Amino acid sequence: MAGKIGIAIHGGAGTILKSLMTPEKEAAYTKALKEALMAGWNQLNNNKSSIDAVTEAVEMLENISLFNSGKGSVFTNDGDNKMDASIMNGKDLRAGCVSSVSNVKNPVILAKKIMEESEFVYLNGKGAEAFAKKMDLKFENDEYFFDEFRHSQYLEALDLDRVQLDHSVEPNRINSHIGTVGAVALDSEGNLAAATSTGGMTNMKFGRIGDSPLIGSGTYANNKTCAVSCTGHGEYFIRAVAAYDVSALMEYQHLSLEKASEIVVYKKLKDMNGEGGLIAIDKNCNISMPFNSEGMYRACIRSDTQALINIYRE
């Protein structure tokens, strides 16, 4: 007998206020979240794996310039786009991670190929791009990734000589282009999976890498416990080993998914002044989506509930 199925997605967390959001932008974000959510949901409904579901959902978010991943990635200090992604299978703990790649249309697909078609877990930069070409993945030119809003963010950050988190832009500009994307899912066979993708930080220097491609920090999945995808100030999520910590609290302290994820987001990260949130689903199809910022683009659906799509704090 098939078990419960469920999926949750996020499009980033940060200073997201309804008072600063135009109706048009709100509608665009809601539509994008719903389409990505239902794309992953349809995979699950067609008896596809949780890996297929999270890949499909994140791929769709990467193809929308509203979010800081894929097509909507921010600009580095060198004026180019460097993208990171990761994916993990809770069934066997296999994972694929990629960082600092340019022109790869969908980094999440590259991460999946690394997991499935190589003996490695993590590939970086030019080597990862060479592997993507070997796998015949789609590349796009620089123009595909160019976004006027993103470029204006970059020029401003460059002029002020600051590295800027995409979810912490100036208040009058907050209503566009927020954050990392991710998905977590449980399939009918009881297998969990998680995937995360990002364009990093505006004007980032020195080859900086955040939490998104790091297993245990930005992404984690284990059939014994849960699947997690994080979004926020990556340095803090790395120090907290945030994604794995949710699983560890469940496994070793026998906490519920909700309690474990809330401890990580509201206590551990908050005490470190780490801003952001996460989405998580456990082996029983419970879903948790806590965040300590003003808002988080998020959506979820389970076999026993209707789709839920939210942006602001309740």
Q: How confident is the model at residue 147, as a pLDDT?
A: 78
Provide the pLDDT for residue 79.
Answer: 76
The question of whether 180 is a catalytic residue gets the answer yes
- Which residue, among 99, 39, 46, has the nearest Cα to 234 in the 3D structure? 99
Is the pLDDT confidence value at 300 over 80? yes
Residue 163's pLDDT is 62
Would you state the pLDDT for residue 229? Answer: 98
Residue 169 is predicted with a pLDDT of: 46
Q: What is the pLDDT of residue 32?
A: 97
Contact 195, 108 (CB under 8 A): yes
- Looking at the DSSP assignment, which residues form a beta bridge with residue 194? 88, 184
Read off the pLDDT band of 124 (50, 70, 90).
Answer: very high
Task: Output the CA angle 97-101-102, nearest 5 degrees.
Answer: 150
**Residue that wins the pLDDT comparison between 314 and 28:** 28
Q: Tens of pLDDT along 157-167?
A: 777 776 655 54
Q: What is the mean pLDDT of the segment spanning 123-135?
A: 98
Would you state the pLDDT for residue 87? Answer: 99
Distance separating alpha carbons of residues 305 and 310, to the nearest angstrom: 15
pLDDT at position 80 is 75
What is the model's pLDDT at position 178?
53
Flag whether pLDDT at 1 surpasses 50. Answer: no
Helix (H, G, I), strand (E, B) or coil at 232: strand
**Token pair of 19 as six digits:** 């008072």
Q: Among 147, 129, 128, which residue's Cα sits nearest to residue 139? A: 129
Query: Distance between CA atoms of 37 and 184, rounded to whole angstroms?
Result: 10
Percent of the chain with pLDDT over 70: 93
Q: What per-residue confidence (pLDDT) applies to 154?
A: 65
Whether the Cβ atoms of residue 10 and residue 277 lie closer than 8 Å to each other:
yes
Residue 172 pLDDT exceeds 50: no
Q: Tell whether the torsion through CA atoms of 260, 249, 94 and 128 is positive or negative.
A: positive
pLDDT for res 176: 38
Encoded amino acid at 22, one letter = T
pLDDT digits (tens, 9 = 90+) for 19-72: 888 899 999 999 999 999 999 999 999 999 999 999 999 999 999 999 999 998
CA distances from 245 to 165, 178, 217, 219, 274 (A): 23, 25, 8, 11, 15
Instruction: Indicate whether 177 pLDDT > 60.
Output: no
Average the pLDDT over each of 89-98, 176-185, 215-224, 241-250 and give the range with the smallest value: 176-185
125-134 vs 107-117: helix crossing angle, rounded to 10 = 80
Cα dihedral sign, 261-242-312-183: negative
Q: What is the pLDDT of residue 173?
A: 44
**CA–CA distances in Å: residue 238 to residues 208, 212, 286:** 12, 9, 25
Please say whether the beta carbons of 301 and 5 come within 8 A. no
* Cβ atoms of residues 291 and 172 within 8 Å: no
The predicted-structure confidence for 182-228, as pLDDT tens digits, reads as follows: 999 999 999 999 999 999 877 777 889 999 999 999 999 999 999 99
Name the active-site residue from 180, 198, 202, 225. 180
Sign of CA dihedral 109, 44, 313, 60: positive
What pLDDT score does 95 carry? 98
Q: Where are the beta strands (DSSP E) in the chain?
A: 6-14, 83-89, 95-101, 122-124, 181-186, 192-198, 219-221, 226-232, 276-282, 287-288, 295-302, 308-312
254-287 pLDDT tens trace = 999 999 999 999 999 999 999 999 999 999 999 9
